[in-house]
Chains A and B, each alone.
Chain A
Amino acid sequence: MPAETITSRVRTWLPLIAAAGVLAVAGVVAIPLGGWDTVVPESTIIPEHPVGEPFVSHRVSTSIDDLYLTDVHPDGYSEPEAGETFLVLVATMESETDGPEIPIASSSFYPFTIPGVIELGVALDGTSYSTLLERDGNFGPVVVPGLADTLLFVFVVPSSGFADGDVVRIGLTDATPEEADIIEGTRWVDVHIAVEVPITVRDER
Chain B
Amino acid sequence: MKRRGWSILAGVALLAAAYGVTATIPSSELVKAPFGVRGAIGDRIVSQPMIVTVNEVFLADEVELDLWRGTTNGVWFVADATIAATVEREGVDVELYLDGVEYPSSSRADSSTVDGSVVDPGFPMTGPILIELPADVVDRPGARSAVLRISTGSDPRLDSVIELVIDLTQLDTDGSVELEPTRPGER
Interface on A for B, CB 8 Å cutoff? 98-100, 133, 135-136, 138, 140-142, 144-149, 184
Contacts and interface: CB of A to CB of B under 8 A. Distances in A.
A99 B71 contact: no
A145 B103 CA distance: 8
B89 interface: no
Given A147-B73, A147-B132, A148-B73, 8 more contacts: A133-B108, A136-B70, A142-B104, A145-B101, A146-B74, A146-B133, A146-B134, A146-B137
B178 interface: no
7 contacts: A99-B103, A136-B71, A138-B108, A141-B108, A142-B104, A146-B133, A147-B74
Interface of A, helix, strand, loop or mixed by DSSP? loop
Nearest to B110: A138
B59 to A, nearest CB: 14
| Most central of B71, B100, B103 by chain A CB within 10 Å | B103
B167 interface: no
Nearest to B137: A146
Contacts of A140: 107
Contact of A98 (B32, B71, B101, B107): B101
Given A98-B100, A184-B32, A184-B157, A146 B73 contact: no
A140 B106 CA distance: 11
B22 interface: no
Max chain B CB contacts within 10 Å: which of A138, A141, A148?
A138
Interface in B31-49: 32
